[in-house]
Amino acid sequence: MASDLAPRFIERSQYYLGTEYPAKIRAALRSIPADRLWWRPNESANSAGNLVLHLCGNLRQWVISGIGRAPDVRTRDAEFAARDGDSHDALLALLERTCQEAIDVIGRLDEDSLAAVHTIQGRETSVFSALYHVVEHFSGHTGQIIYLAKQLAPGSVQFYDDAGGLARPTFLPDGTHDIG
């Protein structure tokens, strides 16, 4: 079992960042009315649009740049400062492109590279720790986007069919869900 932990960790990270979380964000974001995409519940909160920009910035900085060694061009403050901007389609296209780039970087990892230490956001971290952080960070903000969608479009977002007492995932187009 121990010998296959690295490939399993890499595969799970690719699944969450390339399949499950983007599918949930796509469904939630599409349910938000266009005039509410950049709405904030208060000045210290973020809109769904801000959260998508932030996820892309974080994924780019930590995985594409930090692990993959591409130039770091992130302007983190701008992710939160935006009060309006791209449409649903443009935000989702950015998310899909960024996730795919990250998945490509993650796909080049192996057990040895997970132990490598890189400097990301000015601090030394292993590739394993960086990837673990990114997946958990992405999960948290995915939940925030879903919560906003449920506030702004009640009843329009549902990811599981609870018939028969079983929570069967419905968030993937083909109805499948790999729980690995």
Where do the domains of the chain lie, and which CATH numbers do they carry?
Answer: 2-169 (1.20.120.450)
The pLDDT score that the predictor gives to residue 179 is 47
The pLDDT score that the predictor gives to residue 180 is 44
What's the length of the chain? 180
> Is 164 in a helix, a strand, or coil?
helix
Task: Give the CA distances from residue 20 to residues 76, 99, 129, 131, 167, in Å, rounded to whole numbers and listed in that order.
Answer: 25, 11, 21, 16, 15
The pLDDT score that the predictor gives to residue 174 is 53
pLDDT band at 161 (very low <50, low <70, confident <90, very high): confident
pLDDT band at 20 (very low <50, low <70, confident <90, very high): very high
pLDDT band at 159 (very low <50, low <70, confident <90, very high): confident
Contact 145, 45 (CB under 8 A): no
pLDDT above 60: residue 1: no
pTM for the whole structure: 0.91
